[in-house]
Structure 1
Amino acid sequence: MPDEARAGELIGLEECTYEHNGVEYTADCGTLTVPENRSDPTTRLIALPVIRVIALEDHPAEPIFWFAGGPGNSNMSLPGLSGLIENHDMVMVGYRGRDGSVVLECPEMAQAIKGVGDNLLSAESTAHFGQGITDCAERLQAKGVDLDGYSIPEVVEDMEAARKAFSYDHVNLLSASYGTRVALIYAWMYPESLHRSVMVNVNPPGHFAWEPDVVDAQIRYDADLCKQDPECSSRTDDLAETIRNVSHNMPERWLLIPIDSGKVRFLTHFMLFNRGTSATVFDAYLAAEEGDPSGLALMSMAFDFMIPSVTTWGHWAAMGSLDYDPARNWIIEMDPPNSILGSPTSLMVGAATQQSGGWPVAPMPDAFREVQPTAVETLLVSGSIDYSTPSQAATEELQPALRNGEHIILSEFGHFNDVWGFQSEATRHMLATFFDSGEVDDSLFTYQQMDFHVGLGFPVIAKIGLAVALFAIGGLLALLRFILRRRKNQAA
């Protein structure tokens, strides 16, 4: 970033190539300079990457700004272009704190999320994670990072600055999961800048936290689908009760391999977001009730390899912890005794916030913590088995506030990977039609019943892994025996 750069300036913009699925598209690449904290007149400038993929048509309609999910994920990769790039520029602006000159890396949190002792959800483990949050925030502040500048309204200001820099009169928004919260606040702050908005897997205010009764309702929904599936129903009379029994009576080990029940529960919730991984989880629980907890042991071990590296933790904390009120008793409320699974993710995060004070969340108007009415043309898209952003919240809380809105719920679709990739042609057609005309055409979607079949589930993988390990140990022992015998013969 040159010394003479000014706030809101798009510098170094030049032609580049954006590649997606092996196809190269003409694009512009540059850097947007923005204030780190717009409420501080003495603030420094930070730099954000910008990519604009050029529409294939000579006279395209309004551009589409993309807001990725997360928080903690980059905003510099589009999920797809076919059906949209023909008539719209596609614009990506890096998320502050994740992309660009300041990245809120938190190795303290990545290490602390592994927990201490034998239960990730114990008070000791959650306090340890809370201390990791505090340590990271203090280190970043000591390095000169103004954490008050890392909020969703500031992200919206970045997007609005990019719109002005490109001289667009109006823009469309395409958002997913966490990105829908950004799009929602954009519509409240700058409705005159927007043409249409599509929000996929919607996250209204308050829903970065998951409530146990909602998680349980989703499990019961899947349990009803299990009854309709010959393979699943042959293994259990009630999938919800199977999950409850295993969750509340989890074995401490499989053979000599310990099982951390907190890690299994946390990873269970995480993997239930999409239908492919949810089937794998259900298979592990069904096997455990049948007396084979090997799949749970593998989940317990896999946690330390999957979760610590799954996100940019500081960005996740800055943007995602705003719904975690430290005044709530998260330990009790997120793990009620009669719940099927509880809400292990919110228990971990909420208890850490409660015990340590949590991340110093940037100030944000109270109005943005509640749903506000908007006249922006909006299409909400949800999956009926989405544990991450359950459709009930969009239906009950957000849809009534949309003066020009419609909500499509796709049966037996989960989170964003399902909605975008499961019947991709139907998804692209619906989005393109809406952006181009304002009409909602979901006619290409067909019903596909939830498939509970798992080819190579966690129990099988665990046993294969154990066999390979034993074979390797046996081979090493045989080699050692051979070497010792050879040396003995040489000595003789």
Structure 2
Amino acid sequence: MNSRKTRVVLAVAIAAAIFGYKAMQQKSGADADKAPAGRQDAAPVAAVKPVMLGKIAFTPCSLSSEMSRDNVDAQCATFDVPEDRANPGGRRIALNIAWLQATGNGEKMPDPVFFLAGGPGQAAVESYPALDPVFKEVRKHRAVILVDQRGTGKSNLLSCAAIAEGDDGAGDDAPEKMQAQAAQCAQALSKKADLRFYTTTDAVADLDAVRQAIGAAQVNLVGVSYGTRVAQQYAMRHPEAIRSIVLDSVVPNALGLGNIFARNLDDALALQFALCTKEPTCKDKLGDPRAELDTLLVKLRAQPVAVQYRDATSGETRQDTLRAETVAALVRMYAYMPLAAGLLPKLIHEANAGRYENLMALSKMMTSGMKDAMAMGMQLSVVCSEDADSMVSRAEDAGTVLGNLMPDGMAAMCKAWPKGNVPADFHKPLATRVPALVLEGEFDPVTPPRYGKDVVKTLPNGRLFVLRGQGHNVIGAGCMPKLFAQFMEKADARALDGKCLDTLAYAAPFTSFNGAEP
């Protein structure tokens, strides 16, 4: 991977993980039942009678995910909204929607659950299937509604995949080069979208239009990562329409997110690496993981290394260059999932001994999987409109794993990106009596527990659970699905008995590629 591409992956695709990213590539299965190629003699299929939910006509579909063994039966539809609500006669966006009907035989509640995906740039319809088991009890009595946020999934996807790769050369990782690439992306996407109108505020208006169209007086919002920003903004704008909110890995409204990455990652790594340094066998075999990581980064910044490795997808032997930025990206992504992060001390120790191939192979697998996981154009419309003022370098971040790579790169790209309007009170903390369940992972490298503590201060009917040893996106950990279902039933977070979460265990670090010490 050349230096410019490495930098772009870090500053965009990973920075998008501002709000969270688990390295998954998920695909909607809505069109999975097409006839085999070349087959012309299939009998005509009778038209399926639509099922109405309010004013929207749905037809059967199946949702699938590479992270889930099973498909999820659903009803799918599109719903048109104006791109610019001040110009209702202009371009329109067909929002992609999936409706998962309640599965139980008992009472069906009138207030559905809206699941809000992370990113910004992930699509709800694509992201949900892997989480469906978490919603099993909730779905017995309530429907789940998935709306691909405008600019993601099948709702006028804003992807920058068509940008030319460019040539290698000195200075290609400079901010002005990244600014030029963003300008090229914006120019390409402007043929199909006015990029000023793909912000969180626009998405909130879309969600309320869908709510009204399906005839729901109130809804329950479940936001994960960036989805928590959408949930809080919706609750601010439409308080009468909210029955409850769940904020998993919460992004505080009051926070500017331009330069939070470096410090949050280093804090999380300190906690995760301590699992090795506190274990005598691990420390004896692998040393101090943070000191080893710093040694590796210094070495690669001075001289990147050409590495032969086995491609995880094809099995073929390949060669590429391992750079400090590549290692930083891998470390950050693995830190989202402490179980995977348990392998980092071993990988880093091996690399310092000159054995780079495993680190290289995993890094390439991660970046190839991450490449298409976020709608980069939509992401830039969100962050450049809402967080650009906070994208500033800080001297105290210079010695961190990421340094000031994120704010420098993002600030450069945002100079070239069209920006939408943001309400004057956009960054005001959410203050509401709506019942709220707030979840954080103890080891989260992007939305640490202190964010949850700040958010619940203005939620008198809110309650925070910090899940021991967990990373980012924790609603499926341990007994959390059971507590989630209980909260959906009673809308009373304070009544929940969270003692079952005490059984969550820390993931032991690997001391060899066979696993942890027995």
> Structure 1 length normalisation: TM-score?
0.79
* CA offset digits 1:5-60 (Å, max 9, x no partner): xxx99543245566796667664322211111113344322111222111123422
Give matches, 1:250-289, under 5 Å: 250=300, 252-253=304-305, 258-289=321-352
What SS is found at the alignment partner of 2:297?
Answer: helix
Q: Are residues 290 and 196 of structure 1, via their aligned partners in 2, closer, same or farther at CA, if it must alter by over 3 Å?
A: same
Match of 1:69 in 2: 118
* CA offset digits 1:433-483 (Å, max 9, x no partner): 11111233323321312221276499xxxxxxxxxxxxxxxxxxxxxxxxx
Q: CA RMSD in A?
A: 3.1
**Corresponding residue to 1:431 among 484, 489, 495:** 484
**Corresponding residue to 2:101 among 54, 59, 70:** 54
Unaligned 5+ runs, structure 2: 1-52, 309-319
1:368 and 2:415 correspond: no
TM-superposed CA distance for 1:398, in Å, is 1.5
Q: Are residues 9 and 353 of structure 1, via their aligned partners in 2, closer, same or farther at CA, if it must alter by over 3 Å?
A: farther
**Corresponding residue to 1:440 among 496, 499, 504:** 496
Q: Are residues 213 and 36 of structure 1, via their aligned partners in 2, closer, same or farther at CA, if it must alter by over 3 Å?
A: same
What amino acid does structure 2 have at the position aligned with 1:403? P
Query: Aligned partners of 1:231 and 1:66: how far apart in 2?
Result: 43
Match of 1:214 in 2: 264
Query: Aligned partners of 1:258 and 1:99: how far apart in 2?
Result: 32
Which is higher, the Rg of structure 1 or of structure 2? 1
Check whether the contact 2:391–2:407 (CA below 8 A) recurs between aligned residues: no
Higher normalized helix content (fraction of residues): 1
Query: Aligned partners of 1:228 and 1:39: how far apart in 2?
Result: 59
Match of 2:313 in 1: none
1:149 and 2:197 correspond: yes
Match of 2:142 in 1: 88
Match of 2:448 in 1: 390
Q: Are residues 372 and 356 of structure 1, via their aligned partners in 2, closer, same or farther at CA, if it must alter by over 3 Å?
A: closer
What SS is found at the alignment partner of 2:235?
Answer: helix
Match of 2:249 in 1: 201
Match of 1:173 in 2: 221
> Structure 2 length normalisation: TM-score?
0.75
Unaligned 5+ runs, structure 1: 1-7, 459-492
TM-superposed CA distance for 1:75, in Å, is 0.9
Match of 1:235 in 2: 285
What SS is found at the alignment partner of 2:455?
Answer: helix
TM-superposed CA distance for 1:255, in Å, is 6.1
Query: Aligned partners of 2:424 and 2:270: how far apart in 1?
Result: 35
TM-superposed CA distance for 1:355, in Å, is 6.4
Check whether the contact 1:10–1:165 (CA below 8 A) recurs between aligned residues: yes
Match of 2:177 in 1: 128
More RCO (CA 8 Å, sep 6+):
2
Check whether the contact 2:261–2:446 (CA below 8 A) recurs between aligned residues: no
What SS is found at the alignment partner of 1:127?
Answer: helix
Check whether the contact 1:127–1:351 (CA below 8 A) recurs between aligned residues: no
Q: Are residues 454 and 378 of structure 1, via their aligned partners in 2, closer, same or farther at CA, if it must alter by over 3 Å?
A: farther
Query: Aligned partners of 1:32 and 1:255: how far apart in 2?
Result: 49
Query: Aligned partners of 1:299 and 1:316: how far apart in 2?
Result: 25
Check whether the contact 1:223–1:240 (CA below 8 A) recurs between aligned residues: yes
Q: Are residues 457 and 384 of structure 1, via their aligned partners in 2, closer, same or farther at CA, if it must alter by over 3 Å?
A: same
TM-superposed CA distance for 1:432, in Å, is 0.3
* CA offset digits 1:330-387 (Å, max 9, x no partner): 3x65851xx241346xx24633423660422321113113423222211111111111
**Corresponding residue to 2:402 among 342, 346, 350:** 342
What amino acid does structure 2 have at the position aligned with 1:377? P
Give the number of aligned pairs.
435
Check whether the contact 1:13–1:30 (CA below 8 A) recurs between aligned residues: yes
TM-superposed CA distance for 1:390, in Å, is 1.7
